[in-house]
């Protein structure tokens, strides 16, 4: 075929590396439909419909806004202490309060945050203001939280430089461990060992809250499952608690909602973000 003036059309420019992963990062997922359509699979319980709703890709971490300037994306992690001192998920709501529901499954509830300003001064007299959050819960769908539940308010972390962290040799990370603060610098760094879901064996944690994930792929798959209700071949069940029957019924609906290739493309994109 010929373009204007009888000239052949210019060749299509090759797609830049990471373009497909970026599209997945910015995709707005929708609820499952009676007949499968592109981008469906959201829920049944979730906090956001897109990675980009919470994370700003190359930008830094999201901070709480000043009063009157809207709301920042946030979530609340939950846990209880077991009889042997181990950390366990909250019995009714699991590891995370999911504030939105899809496909007739009700949201688990709402976290309501208020802020109290605490003024102070640095040693040189420069004034500062700190904002202290106060957290309460409303509209809990499955009853009250456990009496001694531990709650942690979380804002989305920065994604920049994840590929560099992935490339740090394990021995280099372990060399910095100082669990007993032997050098008396006030820091007691401890490596975290977690299960690599691909291999089934313990591995060094590098990503996520408190280095809870050993690989960037597993970190992405966990965020998809817990934050958006998107299953993968790595985490193929939704984050439903035993009593959440309508939520659990969604696990019988079919296979993973993001393919292994799509998960790999998404991981390549997050790996490539500059520091």
Cβ-count burial of 126 within 10 angstroms (0-12 exposed, 13-18 middle, 19+ buried)? Answer: exposed
* Residues linked to residue 101 through DSSP beta bridges, in sequence order: 45
Which of 180, 175, 169, 174 shows the shortest CA–CA distance to 192?
174
Give the count of domains, the chain: 1
> Do 238 and 224 meet the contact criterion of CB atoms below 8 Å apart?
no
The answer to whether residue 1 scores a pLDDT higher than 60 is no
Answer whether residue 8 is part of any domain: no
Q: In the prediction, which pLDDT does 66 show?
A: 58
Residue with the larger pLDDT of the pair 2 and 7 = 7
> Do 54 and 26 meet the contact criterion of CB atoms below 8 Å apart?
no
Answer whether residue 7 is part of any domain: no
Q: In whole angstroms, what is the distance from residue 96 CA to residue 108 CA?
A: 10
Q: In the prediction, which pLDDT does 12 show?
A: 64
Cis status of the peptide bond prior to 44, with omega within 30 of 0: yes
> Domain range for residue 90?
14-272
Cβ-count burial of 179 within 10 angstroms (0-12 exposed, 13-18 middle, 19+ buried)? Answer: exposed
* pTM score: 0.87
Q: What one-character-per-residue DSSP string does 262-275 give?
A: HHHHHHHHHHH---
Answer whether residue 157 is part of any domain: yes
Answer whether residue 4 is part of any domain: no
Where residue 5 falls (left for φ over 0; alpha for ψ -120 to 50; beta otherwise) is: left
| The two structure tokens encoding residue 73 | 């994306």
pLDDT per residue as tens digits for the range 89-106: 999 999 999 999 998 999
Answer whether residue 117 is part of any domain: yes
pLDDT per residue as tens digits for the range 17-46: 689 999 999 999 999 888 878 889 999 999
Q: In the prediction, which pLDDT does 38 show?
A: 86
Answer whether residue 178 is part of any domain: yes
Answer whether residue 9 is part of any domain: no
| The two structure tokens encoding residue 234 | 């790595």
| The two structure tokens encoding residue 185 | 């610098």
pLDDT per residue as tens digits for the range 105-133: 999 999 999 989 999 999 999 999 999 99
Q: In the prediction, which pLDDT does 263 show?
A: 98
Angle between helices 260-272 and 19-26 (to 10 degrees): 100
pLDDT per residue as tens digits for the range 133-161: 999 999 999 999 999 999 999 988 889 89
Question: CA separation (Å) from 66 to 63, 116, 157?
Answer: 9, 12, 18
Q: In whole angstroms, what is the distance from residue 47 CA to residue 53 CA?
A: 10
Residue with the larger pLDDT of the pair 91 and 60 = 91
Region 176-182: mean pLDDT is 90
Q: In whole angstroms, what is the distance from residue 204 CA to residue 193 CA?
A: 5
| The two structure tokens encoding residue 209 | 């809250």
Q: In whole angstroms, what is the distance from residue 89 CA to residue 249 CA?
A: 21
Q: In the prediction, which pLDDT does 253 show?
A: 66
**Terminal Cα distance for the chain, rounded:** 44
Q: For 212, which DSSP code?
A: -
Answer whether residue 2 is part of any domain: no
Where residue 83 falls (left for φ over 0; alpha for ψ -120 to 50; beta otherwise) is: alpha
Angle between helices 216-223 and 260-272 (to 10 degrees): 110
The answer to whether residue 68 scores a pLDDT higher than 60 is no
Phi first, then psi: what are they for 136, rounded to 5°?
A: -140, 165
The answer to whether residue 243 scores a pLDDT higher than 70 is yes
Region 58-79: mean pLDDT is 67
Q: In the prediction, which pLDDT does 10 show?
A: 65
């Amino acid at each position: 075929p010929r373009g204007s003036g009888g000239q052949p059309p210019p060749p299509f420019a090759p797609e830049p590396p990471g373009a497909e992963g970026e599209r997945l990062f910015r995709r707005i997922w929708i609820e499952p439909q009676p007949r499968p359509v592109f981008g469906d699979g959201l829920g049944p319980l979730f906090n956001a419909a897109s990675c980009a709703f919470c994370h700003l890709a190359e930008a830094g971490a999201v901070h709480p806004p000043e009063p009157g300037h809207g709301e920042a994306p946030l979530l609340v992690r939950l846990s209880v202490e077991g009889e042997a001192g181990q950390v366990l998920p909250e019995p009714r709501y699991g590891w995370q309060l999911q504030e939105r529901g899809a496909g007739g499954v009700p949201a688990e509830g709402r976290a309501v945050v208020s802020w109290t300003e605490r003024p102070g001064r640095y040693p040189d007299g420069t004034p500062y203001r700190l904002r202290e959050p106060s957290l309460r819960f409303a509209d809990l769908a499955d009853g009250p939280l456990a009496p001694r539940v531990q709650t942690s308010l979380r804002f989305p972390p920065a994604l920049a430089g994840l590929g560099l962290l992935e490339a740090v040799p394990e021995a280099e990370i372990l060399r910095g461990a100082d669990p007993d603060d032997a050098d008396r610098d006030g820091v007691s760094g401890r490596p975290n060992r977690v299960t690599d879901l691909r291999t089934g064996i313990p591995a060094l944690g590098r990503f996520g809250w408190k280095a809870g994930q050993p690989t960037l792929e597993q970190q992405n798959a966990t965020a998809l499952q817990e934050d958006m209700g998107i299953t993968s071949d790595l985490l193929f069940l939704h984050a439903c608690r035993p009593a959440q029957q309508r939520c659990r019924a969604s696990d019988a609906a079919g296979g993973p909602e993001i393919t292994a290739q799509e998960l790999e493309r998404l991981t390549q994109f997050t790996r490539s973000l500059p520091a």
